[in-house]
Amino acid sequence: MAGKPVLCFVAALLASASPVAAQTTVPAPAPELRLGDAGYYEAPAVNVLVFSNWYDGLFADSKISGVEIIQQGKRIATNGDVRLSSTPGQWDAIGRLVDRKVDAATGAITVTLEYPEHQWRYRIRSEKRGAAVAVSVILDQPVPAALAGKAGFNLEFLPSAYFHHSYMVDGRTGGFPLYPADAMTRTAERNPASGRAEGPGAEPTAMASGNRFVLAPEDPARRVSIQSNVEVQLFDGRNQAQNGWFVFRSLLPAGRTGTVVEWTIQPNSVPGWLRPPVIAHSQLGYTPNARKVATIELDRNDRRNLPARLLRVGEDGGMTPVETGAPKRWGDYLRYSYLQLDFSRVRQPGLYVLEYGDVRTAPFRIAADAYAGAWHPTLDVYFPVAMDHMFVNEGYRVWHGEAHRDDARQAPVNHEHIDLYAQGPTTDTRYKPGEHIPGLAVGGWFDAGDFDIRTQSQYQVIRSLVDSWERWRPTRDTTAVDWSRRRTEMHVPDGTPDLLQQIRHGTLQLVAQFDAVGHAIHGIVEPDVAQYTHLGDASTKTDGLIYDPRMKPGEERNGRSGTPDDRWAFTTKASALNYGSIAGLAAASRALAEVDPELSRKALAIATRTWAEEQSHAPDLYQYGNTTGGPLEAERFSAAVELLRATRDQRYVAAVQSAWPAIEKTFAFNLRDAVAALPFMPASYRDGMISAVRAYAEATRAGAAANPFGVPITTGGWAGSGAVLGSALNAYALHKAFPEIMPADPVFRGIEFLLGHHPGSDISFVSGVGTVSKEVAYGNNRADFSFIAGGVVPGVLIIKPDFPENHEDWPFFWGENEYVIPEGAMWIELAHAAHELATQAGAAKADPSRH
C-alpha cells in the first residue's frame, strides 16, 4: 500500500511527458448515409425515417411519424414536422399527409402535407448530405396570418434517451433535466386541451436557443447534431404534460415562400456497433413435455458464430450445461436475423438459464405447474384496480376512491367527441342534452389506461370471464367486495369466488344502462380532454356531486354542485351494441345463478326482451369509431349463441342456424361463438362447419411460417397482443372441438409470445408474470413509471417498415404499453387453457393409454 502513491505519481509524470498522451483523439470519418431499398436513410447503426409511418387517425399524435431517428438500436426522435405549438399535445392539430414521393436516383424524399382548415399546404424535403440528412420546409404560399408565430418545424427527442445527458448549443453547455422545471409564460387563451375557459393558460419558455445543437456530445450512442439556417429553440414538453418530449423547434418566418427552414441533422454511428443478441423465450418457463424453442435475435451485421447453451441452475448457484444440440438458422425477419435453439428434449424439472455468447437470460422454470398461477395477478390485482364506482384498497395503499359518483349527463346531439365517441342527431332517451341520467353510477371497469366505461369492452370482458368460469370453475378468493359500502379490499378473502364478483360488477353496469334508458349505450366518458388526461386517483376527476346548472360554479348543496365535471353518456341507439350486451347479459345470467339469483334473472330477462324487440324492427345502424359495437351480423350471432346456451330455446337454434352462412364467411373472427353453440345444435351444424375449420387450420399452419415466432404479428398503430391472444384462444376452441383437425401447438405459441418469445426483447407483456415482465406501462399510474400487476400490454409495435419496438423506459407509448380490460380477461382464459392442455399432455405421456 505504501508504494501506491509513488507509482501513481510516476505514472502521472510519464503521462504528462508523453507527446502521444497529449494528442487529441480524432474520430474516424462518419459513414455516409444512403437511401436504402426500404425507403429510409441508413448507415451502420443509424436510420433516418421520413414519413415512413403516418399519424394514427383515430387518436391523433401517437409519436410514430414525421422525421424519425433510430440510432444504435433505439428510436430516439420522432414527429419531425410542421406543428402549431412549441410543445404540442396528443390532441393538438397535425398536418394531413397529401403524398410522399421517393426519388431513388437523387436520394431525396419529398412529402406534401396540409392544414385543410387553413387551406395551407407545405412540403418537407429531405436529402442525404454525407453522414447527415438535410431537411427543408418549402412553402409555395406564405404561412397564413392565423398561423404566423405559431407554425414551426419541430423534432421531438425521447426524454428517457437523454436523461443524465448534456447538450451544447453554439459552444454553450446545458443538461437535459430529469424532471421539468422551466419558467412558464402566461397566455390569455383558453386551455387548448380542455376547450373550457379556465383562466389564463401557460406555455413553457425555451431551455436554450441557437443555430447549432449537439445532443449528448459525451455519449457516442446518443450523439446527434442539428445545424440550422434559422434559430432553433429547445423546449421541455413535460412542463405541460407528463408525456411531453424534448422539442427542438424553428418558427417559420412570416411572409416568405421557398425554402424557409433548413436543418442538417447528423446522427452518430458508433464504429463497429452491433445490437446485443436477444434470446427470446418464455419468462414463465415450460412444462416438461412441451415444445421448447428459444429464438435468438441478431443484428444482421453480426457474423459471429457464438455458442448457445442451456444451463441448469443448482442450489449453490452452479451452472451445469445441458446437452441441446446447436442452434439452427431460421432466416431474416424484419431487420434482424434469427437462430433457433430447440431444447424440447430437456424435461427434467428445475431452474434454467439460456446463454448466447456473453448474453444470459434471467432464470425460468421447467415444471409441470408452469402455467398454474399465471392468471392470478390479473384477477387479484388488475381487475380490482379497474373497478369503477368503487373504493379500492390494497394493504396500506389506496388505489382509488369511489369514482364517478356523479355519473352521468346526457351527451349533446350531433356531437363528435374525443376517444371515438359521438352522439347522433337524437338522444334516443327521455333526457335532454346536459341533463343528469340517474342510475348509471354503478359497476363497470375503467376501459384502459384512462377512466371511461366503453360498453363494448364491458360485455366482451363479461363473456370472457364467464367462459373461464364455465370451463374451469376457478374458485380463487383473494378479494373482498362490500357492495353496500362500495369498497373493494385486495388480498382479503370474503367467501365468494373473485371471478364471480368481477362478472357481477360488469353486469351491474350493463343492467344499469337498460334500466336508465332502455337500451345499451356507447359508454360513459369525460366531457373534455383536460379531464380525460387525468392521472392519479380516479375519484378526484370529478367532485362526485350531480351537476345542477342552477348553481354557481364551485357552489355545493344537497349532493349537487355548480361544477359541470360529470361524465357524459353517449346514447344513440345501435343494434350492434344491443346484441353485444344481450350476449354479455345472457352469459352473466348463467354464471350468477347461484351467487346472485335476482341479478341473474334480471339479466336474462333484459336479454330475452331486448332480443325480441330487435326482431320487431329494422336494425339501428348508427356507427362511430369503435364504441358502437362490432359488425352487426357478428354481434347478432353472439347474442343468439349466448341466449341458446342460457335457455336451450329452439328459437335461438334457428337463429344460429340461419346466421351461419354469413358467419362462415368471417369464420376467423367468429369461430369461438360458432364452436360454443355446438353442444346445443344438430349434428348437421357441426358437419357444415368442418370445411371452415380445415381452412382455418391450414391458414394457421401457413401463417406460423411467416415469422420465427409462429403467431400473427400485426403492423398497425396498436400492437398485436390482442391478435395473438385471439388466435391462441381460437386454436384452443377448435382443438377441443376438432382435435383431429386443429393441434394444440398454436395455443402454446401464443402464450409463449405473450411471455417473452417475441421480436425486439424477451420481456413478458403481462406485468408481474414471468421473471422479467413489463414494469413500466401505460396504466393510470403511468406518470409514476410504474405498472399494475396482471395487466397485459399491446406489446410489439412494428414501426414501418421493419423496426419492432416496445419501450420499457417510457410508458406513454399507448400503442405499445396501454393496458385494456378485454386483453386481461383473455389472458385469464389463455393461462387456464395452456395449463389444461399441458396437464393433459403430461398425463398422456405418463399413461399412453389415455390418448
User: How confident is the model over 211-231, as a mean pLDDT?
Assistant: 98
Quick one: 408 and 361 in the same domain?
no
Predicted confidence (pLDDT) at residue 691 exceeds the cutoff of 90: yes
CB atoms within 10 A of CB 527: 24
Predicted confidence (pLDDT) at residue 123 exceeds the cutoff of 80: yes
pLDDT given for residue 187 in this prediction: 81
Predicted confidence (pLDDT) at residue 219 exceeds the cutoff of 60: yes
**Cβ pair 61, 529 in contact under 8 A:** no
Predicted confidence (pLDDT) at residue 235 exceeds the cutoff of 60: yes
pLDDT given for residue 188 in this prediction: 61
The conformation of residue 277, written as its DSSP 8-state character, comes to P
Q: Is residue 483 part of a domain?
A: yes
Q: Is residue 642 part of a domain?
A: no
Residue 713 CB-half CA count within 13 A = 26
pLDDT given for residue 18 in this prediction: 38
Query: At a CB cut-off of 8 Å and minimum separation 6, what does 679 contact?
Result: none
Top pLDDT among 25 and 694 is at: 694
Coil/strand/helix, residue 353: strand
pLDDT given for residue 826 in this prediction: 98
Quick one: 712 and 820 in the same domain?
yes
pLDDT given for residue 25 in this prediction: 58
Which pairing describes strands 568-570 and 409-410: parallel, antiparallel, or unpaired?
Answer: parallel
- Name the grid cell of 645: 346456451
User: How confident is the model over 216-229, as a mean pLDDT?
Assistant: 98
Q: Is residue 544 part of a domain?
A: yes
Predicted confidence (pLDDT) at residue 673 exceeds the cutoff of 60: yes
Predicted confidence (pLDDT) at residue 145 exceeds the cutoff of 90: yes
Quick one: 696 and 794 in the same domain?
yes
pLDDT given for residue 612 in this prediction: 98
CB atoms within 10 A of CB 734: 26
The region of weakest confidence among 530-534, 826-830, 839-843 is 839-843
3-state SS, 369-390, equals CCCCCCCHHHHHHHHHHCECCC
- Name the grid cell of 277: 443478441
3-state class percentages of the chain: helix first, strand second, coil last, to nearest 5: 30, 25, 45
**Cβ pair 361, 282 in contact under 8 A:** no
Encode pLDDT of 538-548 as tens digits.
Answer: 999 999 999 99
The region of weakest confidence among 266-280, 574-588, 691-705, 830-844 is 830-844
DSSP notation for 499-564:
HHHHHHHHHHHHHHHHHHHSS--SEEE-SSHHHHT--S-GGGSS-SSEE-TTSPTT-EETTEES--
**Cβ pair 33, 42 in contact under 8 A:** yes
Quick one: 430 and 347 in the same domain?
no
Q: Is residue 199 part of a domain?
A: yes
Query: For residue 750, which amino acid is it?
Result: G
Query: For residue 443, which amino acid is it?
Result: G
**Cβ pair 361, 762 in contact under 8 A:** yes
Coil/strand/helix, residue 331: strand
Give me the CATH number covering residue 491.
1.50.10.10
pLDDT given for residue 719 in this prediction: 95
Length of the chain: 851
C-alpha span between 795 and 627 (Å, rounded): 23
pLDDT given for residue 189 in this prediction: 55
Q: Of 216, 241, 267, which closes a domain? A: 267
Predicted confidence (pLDDT) at residue 217 exceeds the cutoff of 60: yes
Predicted confidence (pLDDT) at residue 307 exceeds the cutoff of 80: yes
133, β-bridge pairs: 128, 265
Give me the CATH number covering residue 325.
2.60.40.10
Residue 537 CB-half CA count within 13 A = 16
- Name the grid cell of 512: 344499469
Quick one: 349 and 485 in the same domain?
no
pLDDT given for residue 78 in this prediction: 97
Predicted confidence (pLDDT) at residue 117 exceeds the cutoff of 60: yes
pLDDT given for residue 609 in this prediction: 98
Predicted confidence (pLDDT) at residue 671 exceeds the cutoff of 70: yes
Residue 775 — pLDDT band, cuts 50, 70, 90? Answer: very high
CB atoms within 10 A of CB 237: 22
Alpha helices in 263-310 (DSSP H): none
Quick one: 225 and 293 in the same domain?
no
Q: Is residue 13 part of a domain?
A: no
Quick one: 228 and 138 in the same domain?
yes
DSSP notation for 18-67:
-TTTTSPPPPPPPPPPEE-TTSSEEETTEEEEESSS--BTTTB--S--BE
Quick one: 291 and 415 in the same domain?
no
C-alpha span between 842 and 834 (Å, rounded): 12
Quick one: which of 838, 823, 817 has its CA closest to 773?
817
Which pairing describes strands 391-394 and 397-400: parallel, antiparallel, or unpaired?
Answer: antiparallel
pLDDT given for residue 177 in this prediction: 97
User: How confident is the model over 382-388, as a mean pLDDT?
Assistant: 98
Proportion of the chain above pLDDT 90, given as a percent: 90
Predicted confidence (pLDDT) at residue 17 exceeds the cutoff of 60: no
Bond from prior residue into 408 cis (ω within 30 degrees of 0):
yes
**Largest alpha-carbon pair distance within the chain?**
99
Predicted confidence (pLDDT) at residue 611 exceeds the cutoff of 80: yes
Predicted confidence (pLDDT) at residue 850 exceeds the cutoff of 60: no
CB atoms within 10 A of CB 373: 14
CB atoms within 10 A of CB 633: 17
Predicted confidence (pLDDT) at residue 849 exceeds the cutoff of 80: no
The region of weakest confidence among 34-48, 190-204, 305-319, 820-834 is 190-204
User: How confident is the model over 654-680, as a mean pLDDT?
Assistant: 97
Quick one: which of 6, 83, 70 has its CA closest to 40?
70
pLDDT given for residue 190 in this prediction: 47
C-alpha span between 340 and 602 (Å, rounded): 54
Quick one: 814 and 745 in the same domain?
yes
Buried b (16+ CB within 10 A) or exposed e, 738-747: beeebebbbb
Q: Of 228, 244, 267, which closes a domain? A: 267
- Name the grid cell of 668: 376467423
pLDDT given for residue 843 in this prediction: 78
Residue 775 CB-half CA count within 13 A = 6
Q: Is residue 670 part of a domain?
A: no
pLDDT given for residue 250 in this prediction: 98
Quick one: 263 and 384 in the same domain?
no
Q: Domain containing 749: what range? A: 684-851
Quick one: 128 and 207 in the same domain?
yes
DSSP notation for 419-457:
TT-EE-SS-SSSSPTT-B-TT-SS--B--SSS--EEHHH
pLDDT given for residue 841 in this prediction: 85
Q: Name the CA radius of gyration of the chain, rounded.
A: 29
C-alpha span between 346 and 20 (Å, rounded): 56
Query: For residue 412, which amino acid is it?
Result: P
Coil/strand/helix, residue 672: helix
Quick one: 350 and 387 in the same domain?
no
Terminal alpha carbon distance of the chain = 73
C-alpha span between 607 and 466 (Å, rounded): 16
C-alpha span between 128 and 107 (Å, rounded): 6
Encode pLDDT of 561-603 as tens digits.
Answer: 999 999 999 999 999 999 999 999 999 999 999 999 999 999 9
pLDDT given for residue 844 in this prediction: 75
Predicted confidence (pLDDT) at residue 199 exceeds the cutoff of 60: no
C-alpha span between 238 and 45 (Å, rounded): 29
Share the mean pLDDT of the chain: 94
Q: Of 243, 267, 291, which closes a domain? A: 267
pLDDT given for residue 405 in this prediction: 97
User: How confident is the model over 648-673, as a mean pLDDT?
Assistant: 97
pLDDT given for residue 825 in this prediction: 98
DSSP H or E run through 227: strand 224-236
Give me the CATH number covering residue 259.
2.70.98
User: How confident is the model over 490-512, as a mean pLDDT?
Assistant: 98
423, β-bridge pairs: 415
Residue 227 — pLDDT band, cuts 50, 70, 90? Answer: very high
Q: Is residue 21 part of a domain?
A: no
Q: Is residue 462 part of a domain?
A: yes
pLDDT given for residue 510 in this prediction: 98
Number of folded domains that form the chain: 4
- Name the grid cell of 368: 409441470
C-alpha span between 530 and 691 (Å, rounded): 52
Residue 464 CA: distances (Å) to CA of 99, 385, 449, 459, 673: 43, 18, 20, 8, 11
C-alpha span between 151 and 68 (Å, rounded): 19
The region of weakest confidence among 15-29, 53-67, 444-458, 519-533 is 15-29
pLDDT given for residue 55 in this prediction: 80
